[in-house]
Structure formats: C-alpha cells, structure tokens
C-alpha cells in the first residue's frame, strides 16, 4: 500500500513500461489520485484460456478510496480497453476525449451493459482538478483522432505526460500538434517529462499520415483490378483518406469488418463526420466490376476471424480473392504477428493477389514519434527530469540515453510497479512492487492462478488420464479391476491402454490388505505418470476414482 507520509507527488506505473500495451499509470498527491489510461494487452496464442491481459486489479482495489477519476488520453485499446473492468471496480468519473468516449459507449452497446456511469468528454485545453493537481489536455497527433498529452500542474512543479504521440505537421483533419502550447509550458518550466518510447530505436521523423494515404491512393489509381486495403480499424483518418482517394479514382468503396464500422460510427457520433459516406454494401461486392471497386477491410494483423484472413482461406461469405486483386496491408507488421501475417500473404498470393505491405512499399505511417520527434519534444519542454514510458525495455533505455544526450541531468529508467516520489528536493523510486496481472477469458476475469492458466496450458500439452479402480479386499490379498480413459493424449492405442490397465491392477493387488484409498490413488498416479513418461515423454493430469468393493 502506498505510504502518504510525506509531501510528494506519487507516480506508480502499473502497465506499459517495459512492454507495449496495457498502459496505466497512477498519479496522486496525499489522498487524491487519478488513473491515467486504462489499457489491455492481447495475449499470446500459447496462453490458453486468456484473451486479454489487464493491469493488477487487486492493487487498484487497494487504492480504491484514494482514486478520484480515470483520465484517458485517446481511444486505442491499449489505453482504454480495460476501462470497463477498472471502471466497474473504482466507480469514479471517467474523462475521455469525445472519440474515445464514443468508442466506450458503442462497445457498451455491443455488450449490452452500461458500465461507465459518469463519462465526461474532454476537449483541447480542458482542465480537470484532482486535489492539488490541475490536469490540462494538450493536443498531439497520433494514429487515432483526438489524442492528448496531459499537463499536470502540481505544487512540486509541472509534469508532462505525452501519452502516445507523433509530430504530424500535415494531419488529415488539419488539427495539428500544439507546438505553441508545448513551447509555452517549456518556457514556464517543466519539472518532469514522461514521454512515448515506442519508436526510440528508429532514427529520423515519422512519415505523415497523408504520405501513407497518398501511397495507398497511388496504388489504387494504378491498379487494373480490384484493390483491397487492410488497416487498423481505429485509424479513422486513414479510412476516410482512402475512401477519398478511391472516389477520386472513380471507384466505389465497400467496408468489410465490424470494427471499421464501429470506429466510423464513433467518429460520427463524436461530431467529426457529418456527410454520409457513399459506400457499397458488402453483400454487393461480387456484383461490381473488379476495376470499379476498393474494399477496406480488417485483418492487417492476420487476426483469425478477420475479413482478410477469412477471404485468404476462401471462407468469407461476401469477400473472395480474385486473380489480379491488389492487396495492401496499410499497417505495421507487429513482430509477434509476423508468422500469421506472412501465412496470410502466402495464401493471398496463391489465390493470385499481389500484396503490398510496409516492408515493400511506403503504405504505412507509424503513430509514434521517432528519435527526431522525441528529441524535439525534449527541446520544446526542456524538463529538469525525464522518465521514458510506453515501450519495451530496450526502447525505454534508448530513449533514456537520448534524453541524457540532450543534457537532462535526472533521467530515470523505471518499470511497472516502481513507485516514484517527486518532492521539492528531488525525484526517487521509493518502492518496487511485484504486480499480479489479471486476465480476461470470455466473461471471466482473474489472475493467472484464479483462472488456472498454468494448469490449462499443461493440460493442453500433456493431456488427461482418468482411472476408475475397483478394489476388493479378499481374505489374503487385494483384487482389482481398472478402467482407463484419456483426453488429449496422442498415439494412445487400445493395446497400450489394456497393457496399462493390467499393470495397474498388478500394482494395486501387490499392496497390503490394510491399504487406504489415498495410498491407492497415489500409486495409480505414480504408475500412470511413469508409464506415459516412458512411452511418449508426457506428464498427463491424472484423475483417479477409487472404490472399495465388498468381496
Ligand atoms: Zn495510441
């Protein structure tokens, strides 16, 4: 539990430091805290029984009485995806930019439950007061509309939390990065900067969003046949930009993928989209001439149920791949998804499509600052101290070095669970807590132990053996009958099980007459494990049911 013994601003990251995703930081003075962002992380496929990873909900529960609000910087899932879980736990107001707020509401409509009661929309330069902290929203550019940095005025100085950002000087909606705003804050003096490290290993400046749209537009114009563009559904500006490019090339556009419709609807409800989009219904795709059509679809990360993956497997009711289709993956190839993405690309190629992606064409622009922009952020603000956030450890380390090179004296490399105190005298890490992450499995939420994740993974790997043993106490010795069933154990033949049953009966019958049920169960488990280890090098779970029968 966080100590409130001395006069200090406390910062406690619970996610997003040393990893990509699941961003959540606590900021607070005395007994007034707020949660900054509330993200989830997608679990690796080997994590049987877990779809999403959540920040440590038990720890948040400990701070429940101190936390007064949740403040969200933008609508990406790794910043808002856990809001329904954290929101229902803390029951505090949630402040979010209009687009993020509408995404939350639309998702609630989808689940059919209204979890976030008090959802307040925050705009550029809006101020929220939490105890002695005054938090102001300052516009940045990113790969999703409506993204803000937080400027936190405290008695210990001004803290700037950049959230995710890039410096796009020519953004799609014309609402640019607030250079003046940042410079003014810098002029007044910044005590501590916490800045996005995602691209700290990438030299230079990010490509602008319009450049990526332009590159996709060029391919659309040149294409002889149909064009399919797959992208992150949340990148609404790119979706709209590509629709414009297609229409300028005299082509019609269809959208395939529920999430793209959801984000467009959120954008519309936020008041940013007023004109109707002239779209072709996805059921009419096949009726249009190939050269007249552009399809914008989900599946850029080869997500198993996404439109493009299903089309690549010839398993989509409305979308089929034609020979001479041009497929553009206008997105990052995320390292963990690489295998699945290239499997999909191969399948698309096999069906005759020509595939363009970020490694062969400039069809994507990152939403995160590269080193030049990170440097520029530091130069605008000239902070006294610096903490890299949002990134894997190596990225944060590189960002930390960059800040040192820029002449910042106090640079800290901290991780999730490290409690930082900012006082009048200095900044230090005062505690290192071990965090217990939570997971979502359908409607279930719990930590790894509660969801039995380890057991489920091992069960999938090693299988299960159930044994029924009926033991008779005869006059001089025991008699036994056994029956065995297996689940998920490869290469088990009936002959092998018969052999095992006989072996088990022999073992039980050799036990003393005074034997207890527990000892029989232990013998069965030992026998079964030994048997499968020797035969196929597996350690299955054993369920034994022992009954003593009267002779
Ligand atoms: Zn983001």
DSSP for 365-413, written as a single string: --SS--HHHHHHHHHHH--SEEEEESEEHHHHHHHHHHHHHTT-SEE--
Q: How many angstroms is it from 383 CA to the middle of ligand 1?
A: 23
Q: What band does 474 get if pLDDT is binned at 50, 70 and 90? A: confident
Name the pLDDT band for 3 (thresholds 50, 70, 90). Answer: low
Q: How far is the CA of 37 from the centre of ligand 1 (A)?
A: 10
For residue 33, what are the contacts with CB-CB under 8 A and spacing of at least 6? 10, 26, 27, 63, 66, 67, 68, 130
What is the whole-number distance in angstroms between the Cα of residue 210 and the centre of ligand 1?
18
- Pair 230, 242: CB distance under 8 Å: no
331 Cα to the center of ligand 1, angstroms: 14
Give the pLDDT mean for 402-431. Answer: 96
Q: What distance in angstroms lies between residue 182's CA and the mean position of ligand 1's atoms?
A: 19
Q: How far is the CA of 181 from the centre of ligand 1 (A)?
A: 20
Query: How far apart are the CA of 143 and the centre of ligand 1, in A?
Result: 7
Report which secondary-structure segment, H or E, holds 533.
Answer: helix 517-536
Distance 435 CA to ligand 1 centre (A): 23
**Ligand 1 geometric centre to CA of 367 (Å):** 7
Apex 205 CA angle, 186 and 229, nearest 5: 125
How remote is the CA of residue 193 from the centroid of ligand 1, in Å? 18
Please report the DSSP string for 261-322 in residue order: HHHHHHHHHTTS--SPP-EE-GGGGGGS-GGGEEEEES-TT--TTSHHHHHHTT--SS----
Residue 32 and residue 101: Cα distance in Å, rounded? 23
Specify the range with the lowest mean pLDDT, choosing from 146-155, 300-309, 369-378. Answer: 300-309
Mean pLDDT of 505-529: 92
Mapping DSSP to helix (H, G, I), strand (E, B) and coil, where does residue 330 land?
coil
Torsion of CA 210, 238, 205, 96, to 10 degrees: 130
Count CB neighbours of 162 within 10 A: 25
* pLDDT at residue 5 greater than cutoff 60: no
Mean pLDDT across the chain: 94
The answer to whether 230 touches 327, Cβ cutoff 8 Å, is: yes
Is 355 a residue whose pLDDT tops 70?
Answer: yes
Q: How far is the CA of 543 from the centre of ligand 1 (A)?
A: 47
The CA 393 to ligand 1 mean position distance, Å, reads 18
- In the reported structure, the alpha carbon of residue 162 is separated from the centroid of ligand 1 by a whole-number distance in angstroms of 11
Distance in Å, CA 510 to ligand 1 centroid = 66
Asked if residues 530 and 537 have their Cβ atoms less than 8 Å apart, the reply is no
Query: Coil, strand or helix: which one is 256?
Result: strand
Q: What is the pLDDT of residue 46?
A: 75
Tell me if 165 sits within 8 A of 147, measured CB to CB. yes
pLDDT at 335: 83
Q: Is the pLDDT of residue 435 over 90?
A: yes
Question: Is the pTM of the predicted complex or chain greater than 0.85?
Answer: yes
Ligand 1 mean position to 164 CA, how many Å? 5
Give 171 Cα–ligand 1 centroid separation in angstroms.
16
Of 414-418, 491-495, 510-514, the least confident: 491-495
Is residue 70's pLDDT more than 90? yes
Could you tell me the distance, in angstroms and rounded to a whole number, from the CA of residue 404 to the centre of ligand 1? 25
Q: How far is the CA of 73 from the centre of ligand 1 (A)?
A: 9
Give 141 Cα–ligand 1 centroid separation in angstroms. 10
Work out the angle at residue 152's Cα, subtended by the Cα atoms of residues 136 and 127, and round it to the nearest 5 degrees.
25
In this prediction, residue 43 carries a pLDDT of 84
In this structure, which long-range contacts are made by residues 473-478, counting pairs with CB atoms below 8 Å and at least 24 apart in sequence? 473/513, 473/548, 473/551, 474/551, 475/551, 476/513, 477/509, 477/513, 478/508, 478/509, 478/511, 478/513, 478/515
CA of 145 to the centre of ligand 1 (A): 10
15 Cα: distance to centroid of ligand 1 (angstroms): 14
Q: What is the pLDDT of residues 492-505, one digit of tens each?
A: 788 888 989 999 99
CA of 107 to the centre of ligand 1 (A): 18
CA of 234 to the centre of ligand 1 (A): 10
Q: Cα angle vertex 341, ends 339, 343, to 5°? A: 70
Spatial contact of 136 and 151, defined as CB atoms under 8 Å apart: yes
Question: What DSSP letter does each residue of 35-101 carry, written as one string?
Answer: EE----EEPPTTSTT-SEEE--HHHHHHTTTTEEEEE-----HHHHTTHHHHHHHH---EEE-HHHH
Q: CA 411, 414, 420: angle at the middle one, nearest 5?
A: 85
Cα 56 to middle of ligand 1, angstroms: 21
State the distance from the centre of ligand 1 to the C-alpha of 408, rounded, in angstroms. 26
From the CA of 74, how far away is ligand 1's center (Å)?
Answer: 7
d(CA 479, CA 165): 74
pLDDT for the residue 4: 56
Q: pLDDT tens digits, residue range 378-401?
A: 999 999 999 999 999 999 999 999
Strands 418-422 and 391-392: unpaired
Burial class (CB in 10 A: 0-12, 13-18, 19+), 384: middle
How far apart are the C-alpha atoms of 307 and 288, rounded to whole Å?
A: 18
Query: How far away, in angstroms, is 23 Cα from ligand 1 center?
Result: 10
d(CA 113, CA 97): 21
CA of residue 413 relative to chain centroid, distance: 23
How many Å lie between the centroid of ligand 1 and the Cα of residue 80?
10
Q: Separation of 475 CA from ligand 1 center, angstroms?
A: 75
551, pLDDT greater than 70: no
Q: How far does the centroid of ligand 1 lie from the alpha carbon of residue 76, in Å?
A: 5
pLDDT surpassing 70 at residue 2:
no
Q: Is the dihedral of CA 395, 397, 400, 401 positive or negative?
A: negative
Q: How many angstroms is it from 389 CA to the middle of ligand 1?
A: 13
- Confidence (pLDDT) at 491: 72
- Ligand 1 centre distance from Cα of residue 450 (Å): 30
Spacing, Cα 521 to ligand 1 middle (Å): 54
CB burial string 262-271: b at 16+ within 10 A, e below: bbbebbbbbe
Least confident span in 43-47, 222-226, 330-334, 512-516: 43-47
Give which of 391, 316, 333 is closest to 162, Cα–Cα: 391
The sign of the CA dihedral 516, 522, 523, 528 is positive
Helix%, strand%, coil% for the chain, nearest 5: 35, 25, 40
DSSP states along 133-148: EEEEEEEEB-SSSSEE
Residue 251, SS3 per DSSP: coil
């Amino acid at each position: 539990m966080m100590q409130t013994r001395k006069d200090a601003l406390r910062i406690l990251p619970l996610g997003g430091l040393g990893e990509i995703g699941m961003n959540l930081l606590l900021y607070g003075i005395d007994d007034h805290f707020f949660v900054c962002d509330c993200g989830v992380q997608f679990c690796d496929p080997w994590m049987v029984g877990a779809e999403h990873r959540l920040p440590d909900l038990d720890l948040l529960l400990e701070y429940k009485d101190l936390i007064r609000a949740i403040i969200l910087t933008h609508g990406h899932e790794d910043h808002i995806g856990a809001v329904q879980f954290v929101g229902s736990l803390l029951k505090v107001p949630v402040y979010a930019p209009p687009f993020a707020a509408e995404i939350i509401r639309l998702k609630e409509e989808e689940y059919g439950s209204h979890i976030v009661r008090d959802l307040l929309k925050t705009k550029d330069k809006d101020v929220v007061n939490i105890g002695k902290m005054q938090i102001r929203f300052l516009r940045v550019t990113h790969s999703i509309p409506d993204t803000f940095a937080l400027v936190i005025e405290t008695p210990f100085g001004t803290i700037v939390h950049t959230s995710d950002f890039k410096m796009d000087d020519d953004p799609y909606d014309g609402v640019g990065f607030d250079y003046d705003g940042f410079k003014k804050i810098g002029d007044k003096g910044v005590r501590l900067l916490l800045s996005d490290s995602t691209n700290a290993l990438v030299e230079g400046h990010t490509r602008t969003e319009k450049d990526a749209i332009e590159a996709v537009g060029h391919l659309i114009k040149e294409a002889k046949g149909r064009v399919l563009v797959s992208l992150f559904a949340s990148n609404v500006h790119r979706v709209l930009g590509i629709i414009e490019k297609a229409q300028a090339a005299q082509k019609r556009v269809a959208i395939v993928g529920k999430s793209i419709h959801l984000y467009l609807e959120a954008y519309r409800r936020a008041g940013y989209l007023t004109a109707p989009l002239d779209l072709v219904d996805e059921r009419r795709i096949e009726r249009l001439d190939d050269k007249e059509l552009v399809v914008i679809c989900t599946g850029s990360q080869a997500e198993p149920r996404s439109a493009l993956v299903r089309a690549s497997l010839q398993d989509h009711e409305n979308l089929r791949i034609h020979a001479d289709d041009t497929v553009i993956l206008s997105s990052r190839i995320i390292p963990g998804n690489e295998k699945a993405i290239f499997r999909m690309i191969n399948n698309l190629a096999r069906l005759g499509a020509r595939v363009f992606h970020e490694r062969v064409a400039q069809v994507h622009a990152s939403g995160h600052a590269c080193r030049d922009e990170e440097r520029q952020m530091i130069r605008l603000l000239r902070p006294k101290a610096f903490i890299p956030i949002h990134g894997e450890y190596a990225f944060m380390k590189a960002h930390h070095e960059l800040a040192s090179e820029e002449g910042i004296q106090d640079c800290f490399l901290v991780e999730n669970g490290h409690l930082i105190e900012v006082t009048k005298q200095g900044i230090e890490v005062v505690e290192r807590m071990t965090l217990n992450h939570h997971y979502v499995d359908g409607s279930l939420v719990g930590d790894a132990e509660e969801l039995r994740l380890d057991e489920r993974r091992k069960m999938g790997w090693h299988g299960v053996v159930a044994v029924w043993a009926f033991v008779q106490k005869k006059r001089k010795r025991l008699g036994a009958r056994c029956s065995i069933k297996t689940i998920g154990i490869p290469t088990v033949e009936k002959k092998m099980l018969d052999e095992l049953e006989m072996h088990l009966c022999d073992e039980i019958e050799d036990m003393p007459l005074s034997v207890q049920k527990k000892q029989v169960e232990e013998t069965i488990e030992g026998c079964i494990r030994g048997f499968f280890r020797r035969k196929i090098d597996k350690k299955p779970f054993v369920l034994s049911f022992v009954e003593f029968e009267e002779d």
